[in-house]
């Protein structure tokens, strides 16, 4: 029977077919455009992340900027400057002269206030000494043996909702209150330090000998007046000629400079001060010109006529803590004035021709070097916030605006060893906060990068053998029925939140490992041995016995073996501990082997993070092995190769690109893991490969410290730099993985 199709029907079907083809073409084109746009948007998103991180990080490597805002002239007939400075808002400048007079100037040039000290008849100023910059105080030695202490202060009020800053000078001692020389000798050359309860003064008496006097004040409960008790003692072995004298604010040390030698005294016990050290600061063809204390008073800054500035601080030695040369800054010119910030380790120098240099000691950065109209300066001083600099030069007070937000960060400080104050040697240190005002942030990224690599290494050592071996067996040897259960079960493990794994690792696994450490070590040995012995024993069983267990479920016979070996290992753990480790494995490791043992250590992290990484590696590797065309393995078997030979020489080689990609994906997951390493390690930023010690990773450090960092601070931006480094790590690993995968594919595609 023939079916005839009329021309109208053929035309209608052709029209419908044409419409269907057009719709498919439209859908194909829309899909292609959508996929392309999606790929481009992913690439754009990565670029935006990359450039945003660079945008946040870039300011920490910028140089300082200094611009002159205003200069205020003062009477040229006044005494030389002792100290200069400004208030926090940089609205009022002050100049303290060596005769004790103080002049306050507003930035508009208006004289805000003046102060001239008054003394009893016949008494005059015989000496002056400026305290540390943050104290904004000074002392006047009088011709009758008294000491007058003063502090520059600023009061802030808001009349009519407008800020008004009022300068004032507070006298910290009253007439005759601090009598240093009981014989009435003039106090001309001296150094002092003051606290709320005591005042220490080192001075040169009329006979040219140096004396130490400590006055301890106690408030009389009846009269509410301060009653002073004094202790005095001579300073032995003092230099005959003292060019400069310094005392630390904690009243522990006194420095007397004579020529190129610095005599350091321990004055903690005022009744018996002792010579602690004589620093020979002489250099070939260089003359020491001045010594100053850096912020925190733990370091000495020595400046030479050659333009060099050298930093000294105390380092532990066989003879105790002694000053040692740490680092130097060269080529700064003929330095006429030097001054440090209130709290940071920055300092500024000005040469005779007006060249201003800003430097930071720890990062060893020269932040600025520029010449201004400030030749032959008398003094310089930073503002309390370090955003202003006052220079006394040319009978004018010059106020400079300073932009120097991140001096403590440099490329060398981030990635090289740094010698910090008080440390016995240069080290990699991450310590961003402290409870001390004198604290200097230590922002080395090396311990964090090391911790990231260490955590990833131990996780991969645990995960890769198990995941790859499991993938090989599941894809190549396991029966389809059991594979249909095992593979989804392992893949579901990837959905387990890592915070749960971290919680279990920190609160359950870590104490378990510490308590049964011998059992864990025994398990690592007994488990592989028992599996191999089980396989060997199975191969030797008679055929009729093997037939009793269906071939489909033969791999399940290892489950009871593994459970029994695990139970046995933990059961014999106490006995092994008593027999070989004196009953306490942790004490044995610490005391006998000299290895630090942390409860939350790399072993715990490796196990916990390994469980998080195993599903990723297993799933990708298993798919790669299972996807190897069957005709390759069947052809190999047909040619007489054994199953093992086919696996190792055909299947694994063909699947090697996918297996390598699986390993690299797992490595990327381990590098970026946060919650497990956050909860299962001690978060100690140390650089030790020991499996019994913890670490701090880049990701965990960001999670811990980012909520507490001040926006825009150096700490904040360095954390973004850590994120950028983590981003680069992941990018490099993925790039290497793709390159190797492509080469493996090209090499074994002909199989």
**Which CATH superfamily, name and number, covers 65-415?**
YVTN repeat-like/Quinoprotein amine dehydrogenase (2.130.10.10)
Rounded to 10 degrees, what is the CA torsion of 682, 683, 689, 693? -10
Distances (CA, A) of 39 to 25, 33, 46, 84, 662: 21, 10, 11, 61, 22
Specify the pLDDT at position 642: 84
65-415 and 446-748, same CATH topology = no
Q: What is the pTM of this model?
A: 0.85
C-alpha to C-alpha distance for 576 and 591, rounded to whole angstroms:
18
Beta strands, E only, 225-285? 226-234, 244-247, 253-258, 261-266, 274-280
Average pLDDT for runs of 10 along the chain of length 751: 56 60 84 90 90 92 92 89 94 94 92 90 91 92 90 91 90 78 85 89 90 84 73 89 93 93 93 92 88 92 93 89 93 92 93 94 92 93 94 94 92 92 91 75 92 92 92 86 87 86 88 87 89 84 72 74 89 87 84 83 89 91 87 84 86 86 87 86 86 90 89 92 90 80 71 56
Domain ranges of the chain: 65-415, 446-748
Dihedral sign, CA of 196, 197, 199, 200?
A: negative
pLDDT at residue number 64: 92
pLDDT of residue 176: 67
- Find where tokens 């993985």 sit: 737
Q: Among residues 394, 289, 369, 400, which one has the least CA distance to residue 335? A: 289
CA-to-CA distance for 198 and 293, rounded, in angstroms? Answer: 21
Spatial contact of 86 and 93, defined as CB atoms under 8 Å apart: yes
698/533 Cα distance (integer angstroms) = 43
Q: Kindly list the distances between the CA atom of residue 386 and the CA atoms of 329, 340, 390, 441, in Å, as whole numbers in the listed order.
A: 21, 10, 11, 17
- The whole-number pLDDT of residue 749 equals 62
Q: CA 629, CA 746: separation in Å to the nearest integer?
A: 16
Cα 468-526-540 angle, rounded to 5 deg: 80
- The DSSP element (H or E) to which 593 belongs, if any, is none
* Model confidence pLDDT, tens digit, residues 476-490: 888 888 888 888 888
Main-chain phi, psi angles of 275, to 5 degrees? -75, 115
Nearest to 346, CA basis, from 718, 714, 682, 97:
714
What pLDDT, in 10s, does the model give residues 4-34? 555 565 555 665 556 667 788 888 888 889 9
CATH code reported for the domain at 446-748: 1.10.3720.10
């Amino acid at each position: 029977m023939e079916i005839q199709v009329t021309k109208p029907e053929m035309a209608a079907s052709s029209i419908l077919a044409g419409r269907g083809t057009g719709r498919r073409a439209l859908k194909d084109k829309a899909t292609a455009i959508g996929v392309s746009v999606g790929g481009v948007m992913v690439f754009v998103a990565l670029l935006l992340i990359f450039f945003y991180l660079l945008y946040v990080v870039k300011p920490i490597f910028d140089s300082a900027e200094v611009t002159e805002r205003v200069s205020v002239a003062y009477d040229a007939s006044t005494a030389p400057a002792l100290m200069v400075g400004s208030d926090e808002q940089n609205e009022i400048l002050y100049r303290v002269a060596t005769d004790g007079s103080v002049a306050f100037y507003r930035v508009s040039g208006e004289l805000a206030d003046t102060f001239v000290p008054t003394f009893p008849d016949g008494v005059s100023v015989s000496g002056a000494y400026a305290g540390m910059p943050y104290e904004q105080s000074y002392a006047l030695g009088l011709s009758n043996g008294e000491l007058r202490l003063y502090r520059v202060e600023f009061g802030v009020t808001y009349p009519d909702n407008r800020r008004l800053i009022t300068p004032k000078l507070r006298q910290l001692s009253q007439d005759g209150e601090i009598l240093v020389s009981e014989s009435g000798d003039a106090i001309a050359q001296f150094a002092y330090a003051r606290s709320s309860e005591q005042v220490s003064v080192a001075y040169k008496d009329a006979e040219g000998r140096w004396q130490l006097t400590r006055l301890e004040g106690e408030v009389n409960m009846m009269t509410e007046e301060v009653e002073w008790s004094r202790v005095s003692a001579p300073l032995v072995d003092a230099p005959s000629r003292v060019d400069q004298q310094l005392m630390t604010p904690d009243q522990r040390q006194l420095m007397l400079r004579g020529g190129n030698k610095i005599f350091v005294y321990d004055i903690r016990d005022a009744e018996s001060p002792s010579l602690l050290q004589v620093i020979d600061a002489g250099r070939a063809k260089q003359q020491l010109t001045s010594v100053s204390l850096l912020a925190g008073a733990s370091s000495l800054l020595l400046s030479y006529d050659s333009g060099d500035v050298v930093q000294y601080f105390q380092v532990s030695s066989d003879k105790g803590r002694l000053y040692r040369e740490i680092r130097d800054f060269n080529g700064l010119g003929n330095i006429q004035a030097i001054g440090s910030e209130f709290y940071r380790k920055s300092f500024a120098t000005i040469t005779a021709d007006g060249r201003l240099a800003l430097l930071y000691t720890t990062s060893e950065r020269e932040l600025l070097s520029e010449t201004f109209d400030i030749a032959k300066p008398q003094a310089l001083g930073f503002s309390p916030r370090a955003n202003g600099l006052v220079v006394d030069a040319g009978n004018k007070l010059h106020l400079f605006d300073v932009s120097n937000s991140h001096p403590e960060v440099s490329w060398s400080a981030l990635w090289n060893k740094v010698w910090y104050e008080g440390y016995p040697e240069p080290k990699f240190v991450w310590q961003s906060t402290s409870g001390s005002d004198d604290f200097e942030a230590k922002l080395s990224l090396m311990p964090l990068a090391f911790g990231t690599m260490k955590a990833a290494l131990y996780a991969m050592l645990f995960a890769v053998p198990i995941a790859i071996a499991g993938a090989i067996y599941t894809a190549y040897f396991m029966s389809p029925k059991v594979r249909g259960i095992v593979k989804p079960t392992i893949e579901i493990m990837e959905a387990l939140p890592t915070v749960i794994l971290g919680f279990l690792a920190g609160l359950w696994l870590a104490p378990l490992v510490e308590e049964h450490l011998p059992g864990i070590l025994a398990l690592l040995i007994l488990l592989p041995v028992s599996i191999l012995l089980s396989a060997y024993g199975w191969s030797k069983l008679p055929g009729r016995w093997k037939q009793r267990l269906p071939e489909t479920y033969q791999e399940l016979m290892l489950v009871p073996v593994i459970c029994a070996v695990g139970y046995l290992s933990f059961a014999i753990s106490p006995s092994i501990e008593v027999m070989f480790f004196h009953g306490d494995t942790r004490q044995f490791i610490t005391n006998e082997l000299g290895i630090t043992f942390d409860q939350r250590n790399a072993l715990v992290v490796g196990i916990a993070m390994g469980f998080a990484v195993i599903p990723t590696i297993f799933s990708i590797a298993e798919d790669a092995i299972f996807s190897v065309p069957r005709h390759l393995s069947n052809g190999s078997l047909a040619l007489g190769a054994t199953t093992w030979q086919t696996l190792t020489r055909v299947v694994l080689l063909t699947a090697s690109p996918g297996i390598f990609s699986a390993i690299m994906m797992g490595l990327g997951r381990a590098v970026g893991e946060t919650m497990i390493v956050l909860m299962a390690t001690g978060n100690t930023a140390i650089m030790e490969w020991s499996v019994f010690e913890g670490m701090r990773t880049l990701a965990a450090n960001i999670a811990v410290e980012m909520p507490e960092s001040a926006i825009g601070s150096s700490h904040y931006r360095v954390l973004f730099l850590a994120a950028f480094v983590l981003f680069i790590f992941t990018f490099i690993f993925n790039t290497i993985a793709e390159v190797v995968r492509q080469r493996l594919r090209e090499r074994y595609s002909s199989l």
